[in-house]
């Protein structure tokens, strides 16, 4: 028996039942070198739920504790630190203005998320998110209600459309656009930007530009008289109330009709589309540049996982993943080398983050549908299924790695399910 085998055997003998027992053999196993020490370290952190070692006689924040049981007391398979993977819009300060509000979860709140940033915004009926543009591309999903959006193309054509719950829009960086809440009760939406440090408080605003241009220049540029210029806003508008617009057809006609109408479609009905994949466990709707050509730099999937179902063990080869939880309860474990894993619970209005190419799953831990969005800074949605990978390997190769025989291997689903039900 060589040293490595010896230490493995001793490590295996270490009791998984009692943390105290583990402690008593710590010195003995550590003496057998790296592997045993590693196993020892793992055992030390594997304090199963219910073990007296994890009891907490002191203070607890009951609401957080019950919402995040896996965060508070991780499963024994968790190990080490992979950095922050969770934030909630309900912890993000709201900027409330007359006509609505906004708050954001950026790289400032979730430091590893350098690719994408999210903003959650509410506009009451008639209210505007002021005419503006910015350095990042903007992807949006309507969570509630109705809105009218406009975006101008560099060739002078304009896109005007109405969006409702479950619809998307995509505005490229630098393209000037507007959002207005419609009846009966305005709207709420999620915005996703392809810059980690993007900030909604740092966009280019029409009001600020005219306020910071000498009046004689405005006069020369736009043919405005002194009394016209006196009426212009002196400060940012940002979110502000206004009258409801006329009908979509009337607004389109008012700017010049078909002759100025954009050829590019900037909205997409995501929730209404036929699922990209539908299984017993749920549904996945994938929208990327293949089916929504405007969406060049952000790919997305809308995932529904039924109670008892699970978004299978998988990873994405091309980007980190930024998640927004729309409904239900779930838990996710992310695996990262070397030997690290973190499990956390997620609920509606939470943001999840998966580092690029890290392995993960999302399990429905509630009694209702778990619905969430997966977003990637990429032109296409791509993932690998662990099951599918195992089944595309020669069985002997799998047996060599996982110690399971061919009959057992055949029980593993051969095809990628995306969402599965046991
Ligand atoms: Mn914008
Ligand atoms: Mn994923």
Q: Domain holding 244: CATH number?
A: 2.60.120.10
Assess whether 382 carries a catalytic annotation. no
Cα–Cα nearest to 129, from 180, 168, 204, 199 = 180
Same structural domain, 35 and 48:
yes
Domain membership flag for residue 25? yes
Q: Give pLDDT, residue 363.
A: 98
Same structural domain, 261 and 280:
no
State in Å: Cα 298 to ligand 2 middle. 14
Domain boundaries, position 156: 92-268
- 321 alpha carbon, closest ligand: 2
Domain membership flag for residue 292? yes
Domain membership flag for residue 220? yes
Question: Residue 245 has which token pair?
Answer: 């617009």
Same structural domain, 20 and 114:
no
Question: Residue 17 has which token pair?
Answer: 């039942």
Same structural domain, 261 and 279:
no
Alpha-carbon distance of 386 to 412, in angstroms, equals 10
**Mind listing the pLDDT tens digit of every residue in the chain (422 residues)?**
444 443 433 333 333 333 333 333 343 333 444 455 555 555 555 545 456 888 889 999 999 999 999 988 899 999 999 999 999 999 999 999 999 999 999 999 999 999 999 999 999 999 999 999 999 999 999 999 999 999 999 999 999 999 999 999 999 999 999 999 999 999 999 999 999 999 999 999 999 999 999 999 999 999 999 999 999 999 999 999 999 999 999 999 999 999 999 999 999 999 999 999 999 999 999 999 999 999 999 999 999 999 999 999 999 999 999 999 999 999 999 999 999 999 999 999 999 999 999 999 999 999 999 999 999 999 999 999 999 999 999 999 999 999 999 999 999 999 999 999 98
Domain membership flag for residue 170? yes
Residue with tokens 């594997």: 46
- 333 alpha carbon, closest ligand: 2
Q: Please report, for residues 100, 125, 214, 250, 405, the alpha-carbon distance to residue 242 in angstroms, rounded to integers and kept in the order given.
A: 12, 8, 27, 17, 68
Q: Please report, for residues 108, 206, 212, 219, 246, the alpha-carbon distance to residue 209 in angstroms, rounded to integers and kept in the order given.
A: 27, 5, 5, 14, 27
Same structural domain, 129 and 210:
yes
Query: Based on the structure, what is the number of domains in the chain?
Result: 3
Q: Give pLDDT, residue 52.
A: 83
Same structural domain, 200 and 342:
no
State in Å: Cα 204 to ligand 1 middle. 9
Cβ–Cβ under 8 Å, residues 376 and 137: no
Alpha-carbon distance of 387 to 391, in angstroms, equals 6
State in Å: Cα 325 to ligand 2 middle. 13
Q: Give pLDDT, residue 154.
A: 98
Domain membership flag for residue 82? no
Q: Give pLDDT, residue 72.
A: 86
Same structural domain, 243 and 390:
no
Same structural domain, 254 and 277:
no
State in Å: Cα 342 to ligand 2 middle. 15
Cα angle 254, 259, 265; round to 5? 90
- 136 alpha carbon, closest ligand: 1
Cβ–Cβ under 8 Å, residues 77 and 359: no
Domain membership flag for residue 34? yes
Domain membership flag for residue 309? yes
Alpha-carbon distance of 289 to 303, in angstroms, equals 18
Cα–Cα nearest to 138, from 288, 367, 4, 297 = 297
Same structural domain, 215 and 334:
no
Same structural domain, 245 and 299:
no
| Four-CA torsion 305, 301, 189, 167, nearest 10 degrees | -100
State in Å: Cα 419 to ligand 2 middle. 11
Please identify, among 268, 291, 313, the residue that sits at the C-terminal boundary of a domain. Answer: 268
Q: Which of 374, 382, 406, 418 is catalytic?
A: 374
- 301 alpha carbon, closest ligand: 2
338 alpha carbon, distance to own chain's centre:
25
> What distance, in Å, lies between the first and last C-alpha atoms of the chain?
41
237 alpha carbon, distance to own chain's centre:
29
Please identify, among 268, 303, 318, the residue that sits at the C-terminal boundary of a domain. Answer: 268
Same structural domain, 127 and 248:
yes
Please identify, among 268, 292, 327, the residue that sits at the C-terminal boundary of a domain. Answer: 268
Question: Residue 224 has which token pair?
Answer: 């405005």
Alpha-carbon distance of 246 to 291, in angstroms, equals 31
Cβ–Cβ under 8 Å, residues 312 and 421: no
Q: 228: helix, coil or strand?
A: helix
Question: Residue 397 has which token pair?
Answer: 């190769």
Same structural domain, 264 and 277:
no
State in Å: Cα 315 to ligand 2 middle. 6
Domain membership flag for residue 232? yes
The secondary structure of 278-318 as a DSSP string is EETTEEEEEESTTTSTT-SS-EEEEEEE-TTEEEEEEE-SS
């Amino acid at each position: 028996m060589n040293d490595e085998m010896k230490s493995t055997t001793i490590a295996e003998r270490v009791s998984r039942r009692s943390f105290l027992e583990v402690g008593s053999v710590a010195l003995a196993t550590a003496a057998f070198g790296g592997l045993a020490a590693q196993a020892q370290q793992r055992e030390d952190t594997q304090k199963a739920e219910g073990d007296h070692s994890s009891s907490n006689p002191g203070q607890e924040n009951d609401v957080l504790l019950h919402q995040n049981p896996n965060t508070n007391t991780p499963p024994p398979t968790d190990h080490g630190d992979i950095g922050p993977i969770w934030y909630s819009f309900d912890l993000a300060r709201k900027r409330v203005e007359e006509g609505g509000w906004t708050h954001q979860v950026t790289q400032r709140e979730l430091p590893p998320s350098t690719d994408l940033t999210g903003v959650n915004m509410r506009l009451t009926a008639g209210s505007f998110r002021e005419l503006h543009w910015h350095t990042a591309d903007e992807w949006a999903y309507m969570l509630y209600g109705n809105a009218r959006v406009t975006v101008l193309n560099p060739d002078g054509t304009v896109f005007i459309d109405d969006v409702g719950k479950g619809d998307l829009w995509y505005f490229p960086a630098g393209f000037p656009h507007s959002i207005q809440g419609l009846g009966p009760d305005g709207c709420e939406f999620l915005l996703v930007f392809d810059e980690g440090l993007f900030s909604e408080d740092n966009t280019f605003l029409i009001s600020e530009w005219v306020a910071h241009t000498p009046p004689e220049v405005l006069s020369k540029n736009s043919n405005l008289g002194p009394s016209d210029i006196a009426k212009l806003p002196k400060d940012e508008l940002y979110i502000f109330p206004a009258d409801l617009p006329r009908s979509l057809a009337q607004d389109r006609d008012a700017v010049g009709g078909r002759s100025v109408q954009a050829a590019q479609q900037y909205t997409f009905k995501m929730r209404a589309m036929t699922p990209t994949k539908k299984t017993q466990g749920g549904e996945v709707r994938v929208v990327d540049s293949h089916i929504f050509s405007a969406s060049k730099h952000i790919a997305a999937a809308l995932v529904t996982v039924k109670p008892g179902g699970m978004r299978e063990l998988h990873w994405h080869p091309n980007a980190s993943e930024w998640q927004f939880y729309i409904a239900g309860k779930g838990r996710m474990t992310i695996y990262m080398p070397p030997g690290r894993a973190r499990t956390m619970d997620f609920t509606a209005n939470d943001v999840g983050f998966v580092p690029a190419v890290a392995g993960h799953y999302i399990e429905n831990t509630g009694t209702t549908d778990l619905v969430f969005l997966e977003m990637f800074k990429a032109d296409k949605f791509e993932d690998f299924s662990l099951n599918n990978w195992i089944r595309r390997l020669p069985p002997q190769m799998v047996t060599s790695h996982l110690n399971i025989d061919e009959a057992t291997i055949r029980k593993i689903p051969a095809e990628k399910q995306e969402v599965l039900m046991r």
